[in-house]
Chains A and B, each alone.
Chain A
């Protein structure tokens, strides 16, 4: 079985954590041994903290700071948790949720063994309805800042009330164009579970659709 090692990077509020959490739970449900790493060095423990019991219940091993282990949450910064530094050495799949404060993939050089891990992939999550990534040019510019990456996750949506299948498809087309120009694949199209009927084959234009369950509303910030 191929080992899956994926780091999710992207613009602030692009959907990195939701995609990473869904990926980790999805793999655990398929019987994989999975470690999920909350690699947010600016606001540690916030995003995933309330979800840790749920993740553990679903069989995901979580590496994240616990509130009691940290000081000066939010603005004092943080030191790298030793378990994060060695995260890639965990047996099984490793999913890394890269916090927005970290400068995209630049933070990944803190991980031991990152250069020679043959399975390691960096995935850039893009929501084309985020103003900083709402055109092909802006997506490519953001890739230049936050990259390098090995592929894209198309994650266009407008949240609970205003998302439509049409908007997601338009967003996908824009990400696809950016990916083509960057010479990278679109690894998946992320679609909220409630739109499953709009993508009955689970494939959109040759790209697998990942149906997302919404966990982050229970998360924090």
Chain B
């Protein structure tokens, strides 16, 4: 059977279609929010929050909760709010606070699963949650519905509040002086990124999730000069890489998360080359 025939056969399975749909939506939301986070120099927050989400997953797994998002989502949102609302007056700032929270949650999660876990294969569960090998192919209709609702909320907020997001991203002090409730917009961004991370864990796993946030924006910034263009191109790159990565993974039998991230990395490399070629022509 040639790859095209094989792909057509695979696409007849509902769980494959669900996986592609969720992957595209998660990548779209992650890349939109990633543009803001990268420009605010908060790229590492995606990594930190995904580690917190892993810790929350461990608690949910040990407690035997069927819908683990009921635990993971609130805990991740709280962590996001704490990290983004700390502001300049915090004693432990920026990357140090993120790192502290991330490693504590990761260690606590693994410890909880080992000490209190009831499943026979803890390593397999941990590995699957951290790297998302086939998790995206085992989603329930509830998971797909949650992802769809989250994506509609994130994209709608981004489109409707675009000008305010732009102001908060580039000059928070000026935005505040202009009367914008900067605190509320930061809170909204924090909640949205937390939700994207909770859903995105199924796609690429906790350890690789920040790639979905960072790579598309960084790649777009190689060739685009305005915030609007960076946002649009980042969204296109994120979606394309997620789609290509998932299709390649399904056909080749490689881990889904790693394949998507490698596509993102290759795309970044390609756009760097394009930037250099442009600079060479310009010189």
Partners in one complex: no
Chain A residues proximal to chain B, CB less than 8 Å: none
Chain B residues proximal to chain A, CB less than 8 Å: none
